Amino acid sequence: MKSKQNGVAEKANTSQGGRYAATKELAALLLFTLLSSAYAGENEIRKSLQSKFPGIGKIEHVVKTPYAGLYEVVIEDQLYYIDAQGEYLFEGNIIETKSRRDISGERRRVLFAVDFDKLPLELAVKKVKGNGKRKLAIFTDPNCSFCKRLEKELSVITDVTLYFFMYPIFPGSDEIVRNVLCAKNPIKAWDDWMLSEITPAQATCDTQTEQVLALGKKLHVNGTPNLIFANGIQAPGLLPVEELEKNLNQPGKK
């Protein structure tokens, strides 16, 4: 009797093991199918865009997002979204309503990260604070109120090298930028204006403002202030001291 029971148990275990193996195979097959489908979907979106918009430009990537069934598309350094059927292409910011996170803004900072070491830093006004080990580049305008508020935040930060790219986009800013750049001590003239509202003296010289404006356009700088940290992440807008310190302490690209 005991032998018979052992035989039944062995049969059951064998059957269970077979079912377990079959389940694993089915799961693996299902995963492969899902991955293949996602890849096929991305390829189909890419082909659809190329056929419907022959002159659309270089499609950098097409990636399915985890929200709303949308695909993220980068075309010529611009972020777009498209539905799964490829019928509606749009640009704009995706905002998560619960947390109010600007998901698109976060993605742009990652997608369009800059190689800091390749920035033409010779176009910037350089300021070294403390040991200067940390680095931060800033596109800034002398008539930008948020830029002036940023200067106050930066005034309490040390051990950093700041590179100010003078980016005159506000009315009347061209003249102030020229006077700062042509001053005997440009960084003092800049600090006096931004922190104490002391107007820089009239001065004339050859500047590289046009090159800075072209650089800003290339890097998609649409407003000021625009910060670029050593790890390449761009952060448009004003950041408080805590956020500045957090980003400054991130290691640069290897």
Q: Indicate whether 2 pLDDT > 50.
A: no
Residue 172 resides in a domain? yes
- 74 and 130 in a single domain? The answer is no
Residue 20 lies in a domain: no
Do 127 and 231 have their domain in common?
yes
pLDDT at 40: 53
Contact (Cβ atoms closer than 8 angstroms) between residue 186 and residue 157: no
Residue 214 belongs to domain with CATH number: 3.40.30.10
Residue 144: how many CB atoms within 10 A of its CB? Answer: 21
Do 106 and 124 lie in one domain? The reply is: no
Q: What pLDDT sits at residue 26?
A: 47
pLDDT at 164 exceeding the cut of 90: yes
Q: Which range, 7-11, 85-89, 243-247, 250-254, is most confident?
A: 243-247
- Whether residues 136 and 203 share a domain: the answer is yes
Arithmetic mean of pLDDT over the chain: 85
Q: How many domains does the chain have?
A: 2
Please indicate, yes or no, if residue 164 is contained in any of the structural domains. yes
Let me know: does 168 contact 176? Beta carbons within 8 Å: yes
Lowest-confidence pick of 20-29, 48-57, 77-86, 150-159: 20-29
- Among 84, 111, 138, which residue terminates a domain? 111
Same domain (yes/no): 243, 143: yes
- CATH code for the domain of 69: 3.10.450
- 212 occurs within a structural domain: yes
Specify whether 238 is located in the same domain as 154: yes
Range of the domain at 161: 116-248
Burial of 129 from C-beta contacts in 10 A (0-12 / 13-18 / 19+): middle
